[in-house]
Chain A
């Protein structure tokens, strides 16, 4: 199985900060990587697909990059509604696997 390692597992940031979350795959997954946001008590929501494509309706302050084994999710200017937990998901091969999550908290 492909292991997805996210870092950091948690972070504190202020409104307006630039935030970067990293996901590493245990083997190459091309660009078969998605990013999800989950707020407490809510279902996950996909932000990014195919490593760098922005889901329709998602603010442009979110961006994704990477290929192979290293991927990043960047929030260019953190907004109050962005405080949430973020997960990467590889869908290169079964079983699909999520990263362990990154909780972004208010500093």
Chain B
């Protein structure tokens, strides 16, 4: 069965970077694009960007341009999302999600807390 397993919660100081991983299993990793979506406490869903695991191409929301980097490792079927220059407003649950195909699959979410 398809599974997306994300790395654990992180606490970071303002100005630092965080790198969240998402390990995929149960399907051909390179066949489906992977999205990153975040949700601040009590707020709505925010689409951050997408990566093509096959070639590594990416597209990011303008809001995160210059601060976000999405990468993949095909040898371990893992995608990564790194967000730099963290500020308190980046405190959120970060999800990876596979939304192509007949069904959608989401990771369990990774809480990133930015606090001094």
Contact = CB atoms under 8 A, between A and B. Distances in A.
Interface string A74-107: 0000000000010101010011111111000000
B46 A44 contact: no
A101 B44 contact: yes
Interface in B92-116: 95, 97, 99, 102-104, 106-109
Given A97-B47, A98-B45, 20 more contacts: A1-B61, A34-B99, A38-B45, A44-B45, A44-B95, A44-B106, A45-B104, A46-B104, A55-B103, A55-B104, A85-B44, A87-B45, A89-B47, A94-B50, A95-B47, A95-B49, A95-B61, A96-B35, A96-B47, A98-B47
Interface residues of A, number: 22
Nearest to A55: B103
Interface residues of B, number: 22
A96 B50 CA distance: 9
B62 interface: yes
Contacts of A97: 47
Given A46-B99, A94-B59, A95-B62, A101 B45 contact: yes
